Each structure stands twice: as C-alpha cells, then as structure tokens.
Structure 1
Amino acid sequence: MSGTRRPEPLLEIRDLRLETGPGPDPVRLVDGVDLTIGAGEVLGLVGESGSGKSLTMRSVLGLLPTGVRVGGGEALWDGSDLLAYDEKRLRPVRGGEVGMVFQDPSQALDPLMRVGDHIVETLRLHDRGLSRSAARERAVAALAGVGVPDPARRARQYPHEFSGGMKQRAMIAVALANRPRLLIADEPTTALDVTIQAQILDLLRTARDELGTAVVLITHDLGLVAEISDRVAVMYAGRIVETGPVERIFREPAHPYTRGLLASRPHLAARGTDLPAIGGQPPAPAQRPSGCAFHPRCALALPECSVQVPTLTIRGAGHLAACHLEAPPETTADTTSEGVLR
C-alpha cells in the first residue's frame, strides 16, 4: 500500500482466548491475542506450526475444530462482535463479507460437486434473487478472473480433474465470488511449486488492488510475507510477539524469535553453507513454560523472562514487540548472526 497512513480498521480482534479441555483449568491454545486488519491492506500472520495462527482467524468465522471453544475476547466487525454470533447470524458474513481460502483445496472442495457448482452455490446462498443461469455465468467469469483456462469447460469438471494449482485457483474463485471485504488465506501456497506460488500471490494482489479486499495471509514463510504484505504479525505459542510494518520488521526485528525466523530464510549468497536454525521445538499448549514462552529457546533470555510474561510495547512507528530485552538497533537488525540463536 502506498503512503504510511494506516487504513480504517475492518476487523478488530481483542484479547482473544481459545481453549480446550474440561474442568476449571482448560488448556489455553490462543492467549490474549490483539489483532487489527485495516480495510484494503494485506496482513501477514506468521509463526511455526501450532502457534495459533489458523485457530485465531477461524474463530472469527465460527470454524473452530470440535473441542476448541472461545474462552473470551471480541472480534469486532462493523461494530458487532462476531464471536457472539450464532450460526444463523454468521452465515451471511461467512462467504459473503469474509471469504476463506483453506490450506488444502482437496479437502475443501466437494469431490461429488462440479467446480462451477461450488461457486454457484456460494453466489445463490448470499443472493436469493440470483437465477441459476445468471449464477453459472458469474461462476465462469469468476474462474476466468483467477486465470483458469477455458473456464466454461472447466466449470463443468470435478475437482479431481484439476491440478493442485488449479484447485487453489478454484478455491480463490469461490472465496472471492461475492466480492468480500476480507479474504483469509490459510497457507494458500503450501505444496505448490514456486511458479504457481507466484501466480497465487498475484491473485491475492489483484483482489486487493481491483476489489479493495483486505487479505490475511497465514503462513510460516517470511519470503511470501515480504512479497505481498503491508504489515506482519508474528505469533509464538498462542501469543502475538511482534507486529508492525513489513519494512521495519525485516529491517529492525525486535523479538529474538522474529530474528530467528528471518535468519533461517534461504539466501542465494549463503549457498553451500548451513542455515542458522532456532534450536528446540515450540512447546505444546499444555506444557508452555512460565514467563515468556520463547525463553527456553532464546540465547538472549534475561532472568525475568522465565517468570514474567512480556507485554507488547512500542518499538517504533506502528511497531510493537513483547520482549523484556531492549536491544539497540544495530544489534536488533542483525538477522544473520548465529549468535542470536542457540
């Protein structure tokens, strides 16, 4: 996005808590997440598997897995809390106001339904006055809009007749059919080759630029975030540990976890050398340590890191980080030093 002024908030997630398990002491999966998505912007939501990225965004649409529930917080959309909506009230929002592209299109597309009918069903669900013939025309146009060749013929085919990249295009066509104001893309390029990845990112850019659609890109790949996102939010163990404009986060990351993710990116200049890696594994939700959840893996941990949970504090314009360490900019900007990591 051009300029530095933040767009108007479209979705505001406040103090979101998601939990599972019975009894008075459930396991906290997402713990106090605050997240704002502006109108027409692309937010990259980054973190290792199990950090809570997908759960956070699925909760907004009432798509939590069985056994996971909302323990508190708000998700404000047009001033109303989506977390308080029942299924009937959520239906016009889900697929109408907010579209979602799932990680595995093979699981999301009904194998017994023609690809075009997926789009027709979505269109008519949110526009009862739309005739089936008009919906079919719009479905073909939607497939053409995401680059599916010979869309009239392809609309009559079944998902198994599409390649992985074409299935993902079809999923994006379904998600964008009703011109949503927000598109949630959950690992949309997983298992796709780099050429198809670039094409999918182009489709997300087009949705933003031509439709004005805001996009949340859920990924573990910071390279993808750098290519398309305006802002980035980094999650670890169910919390946001750093957030801010992409350029600043990549130039001056303030949290050791963000620095580790950046350092572990492949670089052509480092070909033939081992990439630095973050030692250890993220903790299971039921086994998170006290204090900062990252401290057992952090070579820069201070004594207070093991006992006190850090809060998000301002590190620059629009830049927040949850870390007890206040490193000087020249140290924080070093994303290639192996000394940062164990």
Structure 2
Amino acid sequence: MATIKSPVVLVLLYIYMAATVAQLQRFEHPVKSDGSLSFLVVGDWGRRGLYNQSNVAYQMGNVGERMDVNFIISTGDNFYDNGLIDEDDPAFFESFTAVYTAPSLQKQWYSVLGNHDYRGNVLAQFSPVLTQRDSKWLCLRSFILHAGHVDFFFVDTTPFQDKYFTEIDQEYDWRDILPRENYLSDLLKDVDAALQKSSAKWKIVVGHHTIFSAGHHGNTEELVDKLLPILEANDVNLYINGHDHCLEHISSLNSRLQFLTSGGGSKAWRGAIKPFNLDEMKFYYDGQGFMAVEITEIEAYVAFYDIFGNMLHKWSSYESTHSAW
C-alpha cells in the first residue's frame, strides 16, 4: 500500500506498475486532522483555457481555497480533441498547468481517461515525464484511492462502449486493452473484489462515462448492464462521471446510489436535455461548472457551482439515508 507524501515520488514509483498489473493498484491520501475530506471534481476540460475552461478553473480555485480541498478528481476527456500526441505535447501545459494555477489547486489530481483521451497516445498520460513537469498530475486506467472514511474506485469506462470499436472515422489507442473481452472481464472482477473487500464508510466509484444521464449522450447501456449491478450489490454510495458536458444529479429509486455528472469543465451543450423521470432527476444544468464534495465519517455533502461561483444545487446524505442539505 502506498502512502502519498510527495506526488512526484508517488508517480515515479507506481505509475507504470499501476498501468500494467492485473489487480487494481491502491493508493492512500491523507485527510484533515478531524478526519474529514474535501475535494473538487471537474471533467471534459482540456481546451487550452477556451470555452470558459479558465473561468471554471478560477472558480474552482476560489471554492478550493474556502474548502481547503485535499485533492481534485478529473472524470476524463483531459485533452481535446484527440488526447496527447506524446509526453512533449504542448497541450499538457496549455490545457492543464497554465490553466489550473490557483494555489488551492496545486494539490494531487487523480484522473481517469475519457474517450477523447483514447484517440491520442494513451500511454503518454501515464508517463512520469508529465509528473516531473507538473507534480500534481496523476492519470491511470483504473485504481483505488483510500482517504480516511472513503474508498474511491476509479474505473476505465471507455473500453466498455461497443461503438468505439466499430467507428470508421476515429482511431483509438487500444494498446493493453485487446483482447477486449479479457480486459473487461478482469476489470469487472477486480472492481467487484475490491468493493467487496472494502470496509470504508463511503464507497465512491469514478468513471468517465455516464451510467444514467439526461444529457446529450444519455445512458451508457453497456455500463447499465455490466457495471451497475456490481455497484448496487456492493452498496456503493456515489457514481461520479463526466462525458456529458453538463452538471447533473440523479437519485436511484432502487438503492442508495447517487449518479453525479461533472462534465462541465469547458465546452457545454446548451439545450441538450433528454426526457427523464423527475422522481430520479434532482438537478440538471446544461452549462459549465464543477462539483465540490465534503465527507465526514457520518455525512457527505455535494454542491455544484457555475462559472460565476454560484452554488446551483446541494445535497447531503447521512450514511445510508438521503436528505436535502
């Protein structure tokens, strides 16, 4: 088990091992002295500051300072339109280092890959060269993060989608993924086993793709069929994703599971809203923004913010019961 002390040391020691071993690599992140944890979530952001990415970053810095966040989570599509070319791609500096400059954002970033990242050189985002260039960067396919009362399970969701393997107008970097059936089978077994083993008060799963959404992409049926049953069987609290360029909160009617979309890091899709069950749909915003989360042993707080720093929606949960914050 690795304890995070220096982000540079962490990545240099574990990055390639985490990308290649069959079982999920496990990391630890320290929490506040009172045992609480706070973090920000942003997705679908990497556009060299354009499409309000810089404005989102500015407000993240403000909220991050007020909350004294422990770290930041990226839900993928880190670099548009086609990931990184290699470790020397200037997009890394222009879309990441030069944008997220606030002091409060100079914390560890935990990132997963999105489908646009798979259109580039996937291995470049895993490279320790990037972490030497910017010590807060960490991106892996799938891994576990333990922080206080919370276990996070980061899941590589792009290989689940059938359409990416049949598209003729896009190329994807499937190195270490093929044969796909074996990769997905092993990943699902690893996630299920890790969730079963977890004794954390709170279990949070992070992926790029939606499970349920009223946004442009809508539901991801492959995840509904393959991943969702595992999350429900293991009493997961939150599923956090990007992919749809919006902010969204959907509440399951069948379990404690909450579906939280934070894909408003840059370009948004105004008006891209599909009909959805209003008993489940708690919040939808078709603009840019991000999500903030605070967790103690007995309570979790979630808030969504827009590019002006306005809190658009808030929600809280006491362990297994849900209530309005």
TM-score when normalising by structure 2: 0.35
Q: Which has the higher helix share?
A: 1
State which structure, 1 or 2, has the greater radius of gyration over its C-alpha atoms.
1
